[in-house]
Amino acid sequence: MNPQFETMKVSIFEEMSLAAARHGAVNLGQGFPDFGWPEPLLEDAARLVRKGSNQYPPSRGLPVLREALAAFYAERQGLAFKPEQFVVTSGATEAIAAVLLAALEPGDGAIVIAPAYDAYAPLIRRSGGQVQEVVLRPPSWRIDRALLETAATPSTRLLVVNNPHNPTGRLLDGQELGTLVDFAREHDLLILSDEVWEEVLAPGVRFTSLASLAPERTVKVGSAGKIFSLTGWKVGWAAATAGLADIIARAHQYLTFATPPHLQAAVAAGLGHPEWLDPPRHGFARARQRLADGLQEAGYVLLPSEGTYFQCVDLPASGISLDDRHFATMAVEQAGVAVIPLSPFTEGEPERGLIRLCFAKSDATIDAGIAAMAMAR
């Protein structure tokens, strides 16, 4: 066995979802919604399966989806992508893998900004790259140039950015985006910009894609699962310069080759109806507030959250002395609620007093989660 697999742990999402099932706990851990998907998408996908949309589609994705993506991003984010600049993948995580396999040569450095989504580091290593970790600190989690410079070496080739940010729920501001672009240009880095949460924003928050600021070097990764609240569909994409998209497409051929065509076609139809995203946006805003109010009433101190399905809680500030992992174990086993500890998202020196809760749930689930969190203290 390759020794890298000894350090590659069971994902914290899988661990906590299995624990929730085992203990019959409310699952506010792994980020998936229990409402919010547009019904016509389900009907479309079912109809297309019955109609016979069941054989291999083109490896790069159905033309109708790549056209719909170009139109959607032009309209929502002012981006000038052409259909041929998209590679459709089986979920955003596959897009990330394909980009890393396409971009990294053995020994290349890739900067990861921690806390970081848990797929980046193992995939960088399996692509032959070296992880160069930058660790942000709460409560601001701000990125600054000096911090980025400490991680860069002559071998650095790629910068991974996640905005809006999982697990903190933070959105990068204009100054930080400018810093990232300047830094990437000066060191001639490719930016892998994981923007899967681009449509999951708190009320009044505006999102800017790095692809609009540095189109020449940004690979934008997106997810229909997040846009349409259908996380199990595993329809994602990477968008890049035409030359880079060709190489990513070659890596993708030997990962999954293609993505189920009926799901691609249904997503394409959905992208033509951005108004379908309004009801879930309002629903998630209410859910966000409901969980925040309930946790605060139960005595928990929250960190700011502007995007994603997630709300972080500061355990020491809430008067809890257990570290994040012990709290999460106790909460799922004894209080009946699964949450995600933040320390697994940092390899170096993690914060050990923060947990993440998912609010993209119906009222009854949120209320049961709050009641269990009240018991956990």
Evaluate whether 195 touches 163 at the Cβ level (below 8 Å). yes
Q: What DSSP state is assigned to residue 333?
A: I
Can residue 36 be called a binding residue for ligand GLN (CB under 6 A)?
Answer: no
CA angle in degrees (0–180, nearest 5) for 273-208-358 = 70
Annotate each residue in 56-95 with x if it binds ligand GLN (CB under 6 A) or - if it does not, as one string: ----------------------------------------
What minimum distance in Å lies between the beta carbon of 366 and ligand GLN?
16
Q: Where are the beta strands (DSSP E) in the chain?
A: 26-27, 86-89, 109-114, 130-135, 156-162, 190-194, 218-223, 236-239, 301-302, 310-314, 337-338, 340-341, 354-358
What minimum distance in Å lies between the beta carbon of 30 and ligand GLN?
5
Nearest by Cα to 217 from 185, 194, 186 = 185
- How many Å apart are CA 123 and CA 130, to the nearest integer? 10
Q: Which of residues 142-171 bind ligand GLN (CB under 6 A)?
A: 166
Can residue 30 be called a binding residue for ligand GLN (CB under 6 A)?
Answer: yes
Q: Which of residues 166-205 bind ligand GLN (CB under 6 A)?
A: 166
Nearest by Cα to 131 from 42, 192, 181, 203 = 192
- The secondary structure of the chain in percent helix, strand, coil, rounded to multiples of 5, reads 45, 15, 40
- How many Å apart are CA 240 and CA 64, to the nearest integer? 18
What minimum distance in Å lies between the beta carbon of 294 and ligand GLN?
20
Nearest by Cα to 262 from 219, 220, 221, 230 = 230
> With contacts defined by CB under 6 A, how many residues of the chain interact with ligand GLN?
5
Nearest by Cα to 112 from 102, 121, 103, 123 = 121
What minimum distance in Å lies between the beta carbon of 226 and ligand GLN?
8
What minimum distance in Å lies between the beta carbon of 13 and ligand GLN?
3
Out of 15, 31, 198, 337, the residue judged to bind ligand GLN by CB under 6 A: 31
Evaluate whether 121 touches 128 at the Cβ level (below 8 Å). no
Residue least distant from ligand GLN (Cβ): 31
Annotate each residue in 245-284 with x if it binds ligand GLN (CB under 6 A) or - if it does not, as one string: ----------------------------------------
Residues in the chain: 377
Q: Cβ closer to ligand GLN: 66 or 170? A: 170
Q: Cβ closer to ligand GLN: 27 or 264? A: 27
Q: Cβ closer to ligand GLN: 102 or 338? A: 338
What minimum distance in Å lies between the beta carbon of 93 and ligand GLN?
6
Q: Cβ closer to ligand GLN: 109 or 167? A: 167
What minimum distance in Å lies between the beta carbon of 310 and ligand GLN?
7
What minimum distance in Å lies between the beta carbon of 64 and ligand GLN?
27
Q: Where are the beta strands (DSSP E) in 215-365?
A: 218-223, 236-239, 301-302, 310-314, 337-338, 340-341, 354-358
Out of 13, 23, 208, 347, the residue judged to bind ligand GLN by CB under 6 A: 13
- List residues binding ligand GLN (CB under 6 A): 11, 13, 30-31, 166
